[in-house]
Amino acid sequence: MNEQQIEKKPEDSTASNSTPLLERRLKENYTLSRAVVMEDEPDARTVWLKVGSQEFCVADAENKEHAEWMRDMLAKALGKIVNEQRTF
């Protein structure tokens, strides 16, 4: 190996970029949105991260559209983590 290969930085590779297919699969398989009952918030939802048999509430959303946007952002963040780990 030469020095350029050893000193390769993550920002020099595609590791920092997630792919749309990966993000879609992460969103479908690891995130979900649930309606919640809240006074004065008839469309309120929560966004969840699913890991095996565990689920973690990660955000409150005003409505379904907001919850879907949050799921998209969560999937994008997870995709970035996955791609960064592939470089090790």
The per-residue pLDDT for range 56-83, each reduced to its tens digit, is 999 999 999 999 999 999 999 999 999 9
Please tell me the distance from the alpha carbon of residue 36 to that of residue 43, in angstroms, as a whole number.
Answer: 8
Do residues 27 and 74 lie in contact, with contact meaning Cβ atoms separated by under 8 Å? yes
3-class SS of residue 62:
coil
Which whole-number Å values give the CA distances from 14 to 32, 37, 59, 82, in the listed order? Answer: 27, 42, 29, 12
Do residues 3 and 72 lie in contact, with contact meaning Cβ atoms separated by under 8 Å? no
The yes-or-no verdict on residue 1 having pLDDT over 80 is no
Q: Which tokens go with 78?
A: 């997870």
Q: What is the pTM (predicted TM-score) of this model?
A: 0.77
Q: What is the pLDDT of residue 17?
A: 64
